[in-house]
Amino acid sequence: MGFDLLIKGGTVVDGSGAPSYQADVAVSGGKIVEIGRKLANGGAKRSIDADGMVVSPGFIDPHTHYDAQICWDPEVTPSSWHGITTVVMGNCGVGIAPCKPQTREVAAWDLVNVEAIPLDALKKGITWDWVSFPEYMDAAARRGSALNLGFLAPLTPFRHYVMGEASMERAATEDETAQVASLFRQAYDAGAFGFTTTLLKQHIGYQGRPLASRLASRQELAAYSHVLRERGSGVIEVALTQSPGAITAEECDSLDFLLTESGAKVTWLALLNRDDAPEACQDSLRLADPLIRRGGVPQVTCRPLTVQVNLRSPFIFGDWACWKPIFNQSVETQKELYGSAQFRDAVRQESRNPRIFSARWERLEIAEVGKPALKALEGRTVGEIAAERGKDLLDTFLDLAIEDDLAMVFSCALFNANEARIPELLKDPRTMLGLSDGGAHVDMLCDAGYATHFLGRWVRDAKIMSLERGVQRLTSEPARFFGIEKRGRLAPGMAADINVFDLDKIGCAPRNSKRNDLPGGGRRLVVESFGIRQTIVNGQVVRDNGSFTGSMAGQVIRAGSA
């Protein structure tokens, strides 16, 4: 019997952590049917010569925000460029389903403020061919995708669907809580893998008000967790730590509560190394270790977290109370606020407390300007310019932005700036590798290339772990966490999600590049990949030698049948 696809002579790294070996991999009907030495071609419809290549499972990204982008980008870029074959979205408690037609603006603004996705792109790109969450998943299945799509149910739109504007003002009543819990049951019946929420103060939504999921009471969260306990399956994702990398006793209590009430696994954000507190991550691992042993898995990333920010959409200041009135205002209003002595005094007062951004204004580098007359400032730091002007650092930062009508883009390494501290988190078996944020913060950063960067920088070059262990970190580990049973490993009967890559070349570009390919020509940052020869999804080649084949082989993967 002939195969649909035969991958010949590669080094098979099967995702289990077991030693690699030379073998052929045969695929038929979207599944792996045989792995062995020198399998007979037998009239295979396509044969791939993988001599000298690594053949691995497709990579699974546990933390993305492609909820809107899948409406206009079936290729799911740039994740698909980097060997990702399955993305999990709906994270951090924010999303666009369920959603009534009259409240679409609220859902869109939540994505603008939390995930820094341009409003114009959302208005022009979201198809809105759903109301309920199951309808949203079905619409994704009808639309088609190059990659497999896994869905978590974000708490914010569920609360807003039931409570309306009150969801941004107060906790739910007992009756409202029961209604939200019922909607979660429907989502799980449709195949959602669990629910997500956030406790972070910088997560603000429509009109600069708290994101609705932040206002859920303990009684609510218990009720929503009990739905998972009743089912005996599912997971929770929570943006947990107010100060990245440093978990507090109060946050440990919140994690303990979710684990206890749900009986489910909980992945929490995030462990990121900080210059101002170099031991924070290791202290957090020690403090949270009993909860990690019960299934409270922290996520880590393998790259320095360098962001670009402009004061039109000042996401990194979302946890500053004085910055709240800035959001969702016109440019002229924002410039007036930024220029006021009252605002600047308030910023100085708040900068005394630890934040996502540590108020090191001098480190901000001008990455891009809007006005040609200011072009010479690109590449220079606020510290350098302040010294030249003889002015205060904060005043210089705000003045520069105002001079460029808020078009100026600043760059800053927020976390993991000291790369020497990254390996200890990557090697720690208590952590899960992820945090790509694919589809989000598109004008600030792009970490969707984390998988290729990890294999090139840390596995091949730095040799912090074996190739077999590195592939396991990207494949079977996230699959096991979410209960995606038929993916993440190469074995007969498993879904044929496969990468063929050149270990000598695999990696991602060191810097993000700009594209104006969002709906309406909007700008986003992407990162190029190297070394991925073929990416195969459900037995079909979707990426071949760096090009999209047009295949829509991806599936909406549903919990219980994954």
Residue range 534-558, pLDDT digits in tens: 999 999 999 999 999 999 999 999 9
Residue 171: how many CB atoms within 10 A of its CB?
16
- Peptide bond before 429: cis, by omega within 30 degrees of 0? no
352 — pLDDT class (breaks 50, 70, 90): confident
CB-based burial of residue 321 (10 Å sphere; 0-12 exposed, 13-18 middle, 19+ buried)? exposed
Task: Tell whether the model's pLDDT for residue 532 goes beyond 90.
Answer: yes
339 — pLDDT class (breaks 50, 70, 90): very high
Q: What is the DSSP string of 162-209?
A: HHGGGGGTSPPPHHHHHHHHHHHHHHHHHT--EEEEE--TT-B-GGGP
Does 313 or 470 have the greater pLDDT score?
A: 470
Percent of the chain with pLDDT over 70: 99
275 — pLDDT class (breaks 50, 70, 90): confident
562 — pLDDT class (breaks 50, 70, 90): low
Residue range 107-121, pLDDT digits in tens: 999 999 888 899 999
> Which H, E and C letters describe 318-371, residue by residue?
CCCHHHHHHCCCCHHHHHHHHHCHHHHHHHHHHCCCCCCCCCCHHHCEEEECCC
The superfamily CATH assigns to domain 58-304+418-481 is: Metal-dependent hydrolases (3.20.20.140)
Residue 249 tokens, joined: 């006793």
411 — pLDDT class (breaks 50, 70, 90): confident
Query: What average pLDDT does this structure show over 47-73?
Result: 98
What integer pLDDT is reported at residue 297 of this predicted model?
98
Task: Tell whether the model's pLDDT for residue 511 goes beyond 90.
Answer: no
Rounded to whole angstroms, the Cα distance separating 90 from 271 reads 20
Indicate the pTM of the whole model: 0.90
Residue with tokens 């700036």: 417
What integer pLDDT is reported at residue 327 of this predicted model?
87
What integer pLDDT is reported at residue 246 of this predicted model?
94
Residue 534 pairs with which residues in a beta bridge? 500, 544
For helices 393-403 and 331-339, give the axis angle rounded to 10 degrees: 160
Q: What is the DSSP string of 299-317?
A: EE-SS-EEEEE-TTS-GGG
Q: Quick one: which of 434, 154, 155, 423 has its CA closest to 267? A: 434
Say if strands 5-12 and 21-28 run parallel, antiparallel, or are unpaired. Answer: antiparallel
Q: What is the DSSP string of 446-493?
A: --TTHHHHIIIIIIIIS-SS-HHHHHHHHTHHHHHHHT-TTSSS-STT
Intervals of CATH 3.20.20.140 along the chain: 58-304+418-481
Q: Quick one: which of 440, 450, 517 has its CA closest to 96? A: 440
